[in-house]
Amino acid sequence: MLIDNEEGLCRMMEAVLLDNGYDVKGYTRSFEAVEEFRSGDWDLLVTDIKMPGMDGLEVLQKVKARDPQLPVIMITAYATVEMSIQALRRGAYDMLTKPFEPEELLYRVKNALKHTQLLEENRELREELVGKFRFDNIIGASAGLKDVLAKVEKIAIRDTSVLITGESGTGKELIAQAIHYNSLRKAKKFVAINCGALPESLLESELFGYKKGAFTGAKENRQGLLETADGGTLFLDEVGNLPMNVQKTLLRFLQEQEFLRVGDTTPTKVDVRLISATNADLKEAVKSGAFREDLYYRLNVLNLHLPPLRERKEDIPLLAAHFIALQNKKFATAIKGLTAEAMEAASDFAWPGNIRQLKNVIEACTAMESDDYITLPVLAQFVDLPLIGADREQSVELEAEGEEGDYAKALSRFEVDYLKGLLRKNGGNVEAAAREAGMNMATIYRKMKKYNLRREEYA
């Protein structure tokens, strides 16, 4: 939107911006422009200051009341310091002094619109984060998960410490993020650290920061993660790995909301909510003396236990479909799901690595599968699945017929004979052999390599 009571200048600016691809509308009467202004309709306002009736500063004030984020460029022929300060205090983004060249106008407009774009990207990112960690975007319908999410909903608004327990790969950090993004702290940072991934010497300075000269290499003051998370949430993953000296400092923080940076003598105060997680038995660690009892009770004010995937079998089809959809979107593929046999096998599998393992296996399967559905042979390449249906019956027959009573040897002999027959029948064409067998080409190639079979010998 352009506003300038000098019609010639207004039309000149309008023409310059239109020629450079901008969608522009010019006004020579400020009252008319303000009447037509609607929040969200405009990305930028360029207005003169000195105008009859309603001047530019009043226009600025009225527009900012309706759209506080809109950048406004003020034009003036009398750019005094006092006027510039007044305009900037009322929310102007930039000042443009008459007379100006078209290039300068374009430069100022480009910068202002870049500012608008960054604000919009930040808004979308915040909305995406909040949406990503809404409870209904955590995949699953099992009773165990529903019970956890019901507790999360209550816990999120309670500004107190939470300890999340469960096996590795069950989604403890995702639940911690859900708590944060549904709490009153959601506008502030969520900061995570894996306490088992750093050596003791680094972990203390990483968490609490350090003062210049505290140790060799400390050339300047450094903020720790507790300060970074000020106003927000700090997530301590694998909290059972905290060394004793760090446990002591963390306990003081939980008691006093203050701590000492490494090498400092002045306490630092912050406002941070702590959420911690562990796959270890902290009660046993307390008994053995490896974990402070007073710290354990400070961290475990509220407890959430995530069930392993083997106890959420009804969630496996939902999770698999979700991970397949993510891979299809990422790589523009069109895998529709798992075959009935593959899904039965996946649902029966124990998944010792839990959701993380299932996610990784689905990613691998979508990379290898050439059919519309992930088949059992492809799935079996990445997990040690029990045989089902016809495969189980065939294995029983092979075991019974094996001359040496060795199932593995009998199965190998069968596979070699079967592959040789396939390759011979299809003239060494692996693609045709795979199609006839209902197997993935990658599986055929892998087994050919295993048994040292060369397709050239059957061409």
Give 373-417 pLDDT, tens digit per residue: 999 888 988 887 654 444 444 444 444 444 444 556 667 777 788
Torsion angle defined by CA atoms of residues 216, 219, 220 and 223, in that order, rounded to the nearest 10 degrees: -40
Secondary structure (3-state) at 334: coil
Q: Confidence band (pLDDT; 50, 70, 90) for 452?
A: confident
Measured CA to CA, the distance from residue 207 to residue 61 in angstroms comes to 45
Measured CA to CA, the distance from residue 228 to residue 113 in angstroms comes to 30
Mean pLDDT, range 302-308, rounded to an integer: 95
Distance of CA 289 to the CA centre of its chain: 36
| Nearest one of 130, 183, 165, 174 to 319, comparing CA atoms | 174
Which residues of 252-341 form beta strands (DSSP E)? 258-259, 268-269, 273-278, 302-305, 337-338
Residue with the larger pLDDT of the pair 410 and 271: 271
- Determine contact, residues 231/189, Cβ cutoff 8 Å: yes
Sequence-distant (≥ 6) Cβ neighbours of residue 402 within 8 angstroms: 409, 410
Q: In which element (H, E) is residue 53 found? A: none
Percent of the chain with pLDDT over 70: 88
| Length of the chain (residues) | 459
Measured CA to CA, the distance from residue 414 to residue 111 in angstroms comes to 71
Sequence-distant (≥ 6) Cβ neighbours of residue 220 within 8 angstroms: 212
Secondary structure (3-state) at 72: strand
* 186: Cα within 13 Å, side-chain hemisphere: 20
Write down the pLDDT at residue 121.
67
194 phi/psi in degrees, rounded to 5: -90, 110
Domains in the chain, please, with CATH? 2-127 (3.40.50.2300), 135-307 (3.40.50.300), 311-380 (1.10.8.60), 389-458 (1.10.10)
Q: Which stretch of 60-69, 193-202, 322-331 has the lowest confidence by average pLDDT? A: 193-202
Measured CA to CA, the distance from residue 360 to residue 365 in angstroms comes to 9
